[in-house]
Amino acid sequence: MSEQAARLLIEHWRAGRVMADLPPGLKPRTRAEGYAVQALWERESARPLFGWKIAATSVDGQRHIGVDGPLAGRLLAERVAADGATLPLATNRMRVAEAEFAFRMGRDLPPRATPYKVDEVLAAVGALHIGIEVPDSRFDDFAAVGGPALIADNACADRFVLGPEMPAAWRDMDLAAHAVRGLVAGQPPVEGRGANVLGDPRVALTWLANELSGLGITLKAGQVVTTGTCVKPLPIAEGDQVTVDFGALGRARVSFASAS
């Protein structure tokens, strides 16, 4: 089942097509089955896994994709761009950008029987970056297919922009209270806080470490974990420029190519 489901999703991803749902015999029924399908996405990359994303860490994010809790997905290196990049948007159907805290791991967190605590996970972090995620789905109505299918769909992963490294002072700051703004050029800014990410982006990172641990997966040194949007997802269109502003911690930008 996993092989066929992954092949079907990846074929749609490559072609920029969407489907109503996976066929009944291929649709995962549990989160574990969804992750088994998702694991096969790594074959689409010729490079080591860049990192992980967490979908639906905010109430707005959960409403956007129709789930009641977070989901983990893989960030493929070929889909990652640098700050200031211009990305294509023609086949993207979600059409949103998200302002995110992105942690780069400094050492491995291997699977273990007991859950990791926040302080243990933070001690393994090497750096914190600004991130902009541009998610997408292979489902026509992604809010209707359910969590296991969205996990199989790589938790709606598509494009990711890795912004600048934040000053080391972030370790002494209250990231939950930290204000974040998202701005699509020509439109009023959208404001949010780190608390929109599972109450605290550091808690979200710890959730991801424990989610992977439960799956028998090591969160590896060098991998980046983007922890979910701090602001309401920003509607975007071809030709738009998006800025995410983390105040004293910096800002990042991404543009979207104009329609041809």
Q: For 73-130, what is each residue's pLDDT tens digit?
A: 999 999 999 999 999 999 999 999 999 999 999 999 999 999 999 999 999 999 999 9
DSSP letter, residue 137: -
Handedness of CA 58, 63, 64, 68 (dihedral sign): positive
pLDDT grade for 67, boundaries at 50, 70 and 90: confident
The span from the CA of 93 to the CA of 140, in Å, is 8
pLDDT grade for 260, boundaries at 50, 70 and 90: low
pLDDT grade for 37, boundaries at 50, 70 and 90: very high
Asked whether residue 45 is domain-assigned, the answer is: no
Asked whether residue 20 is domain-assigned, the answer is: no
pLDDT at res. 59: 78
Kindly report the CATH number assigned to the domain that includes residue 212.
3.90.850.10
Give the CA radius of gyration of the chain: 17
pLDDT at 257 over 80: yes
- Which amino acid is located at 82 in the chain? A
What average pLDDT does the structure give for the chain?
96
Averaged over 24-51, what is the pLDDT? 96
pLDDT at res. 189: 96
Asked whether residue 180 is domain-assigned, the answer is: yes
Asked whether residue 151 is domain-assigned, the answer is: no
Asked whether residue 108 is domain-assigned, the answer is: yes
Asked whether residue 51 is domain-assigned, the answer is: no
Classify strands 51-55 and 224-229 as parallel, antiparallel or unpaired.
parallel
Averaged over 36-65, what is the pLDDT? 91
Asked whether residue 33 is domain-assigned, the answer is: no
Domain that holds residue 103: 56-137+156-256
Kindly report the backbone phi and psi dihedral angles of residue 190, in degrees, each rounded to the nearest multiple of 5, phi listed first. -110, 130
**228-260 burial code (b ≥16 CB/10 A, e <16):** bbbbbbbebeeebebbbbbeebbbbbbbbeeee
The span from the CA of 158 to the CA of 230, in Å, is 18
Tokens of 66: 């129709």
Number of domains in the chain: 1
> pTM for the whole thing?
0.96
Classify strands 96-105 and 224-229 as parallel, antiparallel or unpaired.
antiparallel
Nearest to 157 by CA among 137, 173, 140, 174: 137
The span from the CA of 216 to the CA of 212, in Å, is 6
Element (H, E) at 241: strand 241-245
Asked whether residue 39 is domain-assigned, the answer is: no
pLDDT at 61 over 80: no
